[in-house]
Amino acid sequence: MDVPRGKEVARRKLIRRVVIIALIIAAVPLITWGLSRLKPAAPSVDRATVWIDSVKRGPMVRDVRGLGTLVVEQYMWIPAAFDSRVEKINFLPGAKVNPNDVVMVLSNPDMELAAADLEWQIKAAQANEENTRVTLETQQLAQKALTEQVKSDMEQSELQADRDSQLTKLGLKSDLDTKLSVAKWQELKGRYALSKEQLEISDLSIKAQMDAQKVGVEKLQAAYHLKKQQVEQLVIRAGAEGTLTQLGATATPLEVGMRVSTGTILAKIAQPNKLKATLKIPETQVKDVAIGQAASIDTRNGIIPGHVSRIDPAAVNGTVDVDVTLEGALPPGARPDLSVDGTITLERLADVVYVGRPVIGQPGAKITLFKLDPDTKEALRVPVSLGRSSVNNIEVVDGLKVGDQVILSDMSSQDAYNRIRLN
């Protein structure tokens, strides 16, 4: 008996579908497992956007760099000696001044009045001295006249006593009269001796009184000269050759009409031919800087050699001030507060393996860098140990060899990948 063909065909189609479905179900896990075993696709990076350098071997100069300014090494502050008022300003900051140039004029009416009063006191004392001298000399002349009169009377009395004595011997004069004549002569003799002594003492008295008057005048003259000098100090002179860099305090510039108290800063004069550079070195790099190390200062108009002369003990805002004493001639345009770029040489290494300093590279750090594969256009991440550093280069301790090319740019955006492709 014949079997209908329709049923056989339907059965075969069903079997084929079952087999196909079974194959698909079995292939899905296999395909998934295979895909999981594949490496992720490497991201592409434009070669022109990254910094690539080769590992080298040879001498390397270790140095540090910092921005700074030229600073006056020697300058002079001019303070106000007395309370006063600014009457006139002859120079403004930036002007060249000589020692005798009058920078400004101050005024103090009380001091000027006191100086004038002392001048009149001196004149009065000198007049009083002259009056005293005339009075004492007049008294001395009177004493001399009196002494001479007593002397004359004494001599006459002596002659009369001698005459009476002779007459008494001849019996022509009584003994009593003679004794009276002798007594009168003795009295005048004593008065004459006393008058001479008074005349001698008058010389000493005149000298003593005139010395006292002279001391009084000299005292007033000394006070007057001191006051006059103080008044003259109201005329403010530069006192040194240089450049006037500042009038008054930094926060309060000085102007005509302002009152200043004792000790107030009036002006600052710098000597522009004696400058030093003050560099701001990052506090992470200043640990190897030492006094005496060689340095070079770039003024954008010439390079000046120098050496480190001072290191500030404190850090401010992440930097440390380092002073560099300049040894060469200043180029044209060098002036205080000029911005400069300084480089300090720490040491010279004779033979080391080094590469350009990576963006993330710090001395003694262990980092990873992308090393270029010379056979492909890919770069693989490799661990690298770094050593001593300079401004532009850093020592390679381990992980790279001479001739390797590495990417030094910041690749933090590719931290999730161990390889990249360079286009």
User: In this structure, what token pair is assigned to residue 252?
Assistant: 């309060």
Residue 291 is predicted with a pLDDT of 94
7 inside domain: no
Residue 1 is predicted with a pLDDT of 44
pLDDT in tens, 19-52: 777 777 777 776 666 555 545 566 888 888 888 8
Determine the 3-state secondary structure of 19 from DSSP: helix
180 inside domain: yes
Q: Taking the CA atoms of 183, 184, 185 and 188 in sequence, report the sign of the dihedral they define.
A: positive
Question: Are residues 81 and 60 part of one domain?
Answer: no
Residue 196 is predicted with a pLDDT of 81
123 inside domain: yes
What whole-number distance in Å separates Cα of residue 20 and Cα of residue 26? 10
Which of 202, 223, 244 delimits the end of a domain? 223
22 inside domain: no
Question: Are residues 295 and 187 part of one domain?
Answer: no
Question: Are residues 330 and 199 part of one domain?
Answer: no
Question: Are residues 372 and 292 part of one domain?
Answer: yes
> Do the beta carbons of residue 89 and residue 101 sit within 8 Å?
no
28 inside domain: no
Question: Are residues 277 and 258 part of one domain?
Answer: no
> Do the beta carbons of residue 322 and residue 65 sit within 8 Å?
no
| CATH code for position 97 | 2.40.50.100
265 inside domain: yes
> Do the beta carbons of residue 272 and residue 75 sit within 8 Å?
no
264 inside domain: yes
pLDDT in tens, 107-165: 998 888 888 898 899 888 888 888 888 888 888 788 788 888 888 878 888 787 787 77
Question: Are residues 202 and 184 part of one domain?
Answer: yes
Residue 253 pairs with which residues in a beta bridge? Answer: 248
Please tell me the pTM assigned to this model: 0.54
Q: Identity (one letter) of the amino acid at 402?
A: V
Residue 199 is predicted with a pLDDT of 79
Q: Which residue range(s) make up the domain with 159?
A: 112-223
Question: Are residues 318 and 286 part of one domain?
Answer: yes
Question: Are residues 290 and 168 part of one domain?
Answer: no
Q: What is the dihedral of CA 63, 67, 73, 76, to 10 degrees?
A: -160
37 inside domain: no
Tally of domains within the chain: 3
What whole-number distance in Å separates Cα of residue 116 and Cα of residue 228? 9
| pLDDT less than 70: residues of the chain | 1-7, 9, 30-42, 250-251
What whole-number distance in Å separates Cα of residue 336 and Cα of residue 375? 56
